[in-house]
Amino acid sequence: MKSSRRDAVKQMAGLAVGMPVANSLKDRMDATEQALGSALKGRINHSVCRWCYGKIPFEDLCKAAKEIGLTSIELCGPEEWPILKKYGLHCAMPWGAGKGIVEGFNNPAFHDELVASYEAHFPKLAAAGYDKVICFSGNRNGMSDEQGMENCVKGLQRLMKSAEKYKVTLVMELLNSKVDHKDYMCDTSKWGVELCKKLGSENFGLLYDIYHMQIMEGDVIRTIRDNHKYFSHYHTGGVPGRNEIDDTQELNYPTIMKAIVDTGYKGYVGQEFIPKRDPLTSLKEGVLICDI
């Protein structure tokens, strides 16, 4: 993916993760390296979104991910899957089907193309050992949310039998329409959860993006506790700005991670922030913040 999701985001909170306070970049790097000397706790399956590190050659990112302790790099297409396997990495949320964020299942004009795209992709996912794939509602373009939901149900229902056959879950991402994705329809957890209920399939779920939903509705932990059975995957990101998830932003990620673990969630949490500092140092810090 490109460095924009539309086409394909002060130091770490040292006390929150048991690291010493570090002021300079070198100090932060040294402190992070020291903290990573011991194994990660294993309560969170750590992943990272490829597009946030697009300037780093993919194999270099794979090597760094392994060193940090990540087990997945996500939002990768089939051309990158063999490289992931070379480094023993999973792709927790694959890319490679559909028409992108703007043209999604809420528009019947796209249904035939979308269905064909995903049905062709399911066997590839299954052969690679992947059990999820991302999808999108599309933009409203003047359509009511009620009509858009009805259209999404009709389009997605056409894929459920095939998804079940290949043991793949379609995961629709919740995105904010206030800042980053103007006019996107699936922009609240309430709308997404209602769509899940109407479909009533174990092969459909939601990607609860913490950054996006903090912008749209807040109340993150209560929402996770109340609706976790519909959330198939999680993404991070600092608010505001989608940068580092440290103490420069408003979310308490260790507490959010504890709430996710307490629901019994066994899947992956994908780091999806755009680093403003040294990219790999910030990624290491993000992993440690979430490794509760």
Q: Please check the confidence at residue 260 and state whether its pLDDT lies above 90.
A: yes
Instruction: For residue 90, name the pLDDT band (cuts at 50, 70, 90).
Output: very high
Q: What is the pLDDT of residue 18?
A: 40
Question: How do residues 20-31 score in pLDDT, each as one tens digit?
Answer: 444 554 565 456
Contacts of 161 (CB under 8 A, 6+ apart): none
CA atoms of 174 and 189, how far apart (whole Å): 7
CA atoms of 151 and 199, how far apart (whole Å): 11
- If one compares 272 and 12, the residue with the highest pLDDT of the two is 272
Q: Please check the confidence at residue 1 and state whether its pLDDT lies above 60.
A: no
pTM: 0.89
Q: What is the pLDDT of residue 282?
A: 97
Q: Please check the confidence at residue 58 and state whether its pLDDT lies above 60.
A: yes
CA atoms of 40 and 163, how far apart (whole Å): 33
Contact 68, 284 (CB under 8 A): yes
Percent of the chain with pLDDT over 70: 87
Q: Please check the confidence at residue 122 and state whether its pLDDT lies above 80.
A: yes
Q: Please check the confidence at residue 83 and state whether its pLDDT lies above 90.
A: yes
CA distances from 254 to 44, 122, 133, 260, 288 (A): 11, 35, 27, 10, 9
Q: What is the pLDDT of residue 75?
A: 98
Average pLDDT over residues 184-211: 98
Average pLDDT over residues 168-192: 98
Q: What is the pLDDT of residue 39?
A: 80
Alpha carbon distance, N-terminus to C-terminus of the chain: 30
Q: What is the pLDDT of residue 15?
A: 30
| Tokens coding 173 | 């991402």
Contacts of 165 (CB under 8 A, 6+ apart): 122
Q: What is the pLDDT of residue 23?
A: 52
Identify the structural domains of the chain with CATH numbers, from first to last: 95-202 (3.20.20.150)
Q: Please check the confidence at residue 9 and state whether its pLDDT lies above 50.
A: no
Q: Would you report the helix, strand and coil content of the chain in percent, each value rounded to 5? A: 45, 10, 45
Q: Please check the confidence at residue 114 and state whether its pLDDT lies above 90.
A: yes
Contacts of 267 (CB under 8 A, 6+ apart): 45, 92, 232, 233, 234
Contact 238, 254 (CB under 8 A): no
The rounded mean pLDDT for the chain is 91
CA distances from 199 to 58, 122, 195, 219 (A): 37, 19, 6, 25
CA distances from 244 to 81, 147, 270 (A): 27, 37, 13
Contacts of 265 (CB under 8 A, 6+ apart): 228, 231, 234
Length of the chain in residues, anyone?
Answer: 292
Q: Measured at the alpha carbon of residue 259, what is the angle toward residues 258 and 260, in degrees to the nearest 5?
A: 90
CA atoms of 48 and 51, how far apart (whole Å): 9
Q: Please check the confidence at residue 55 and state whether its pLDDT lies above 60.
A: yes
Closest CA to 244 of 88, 12, 82: 12
For 78, phi and psi rounded to 5 degrees?
-55, -30
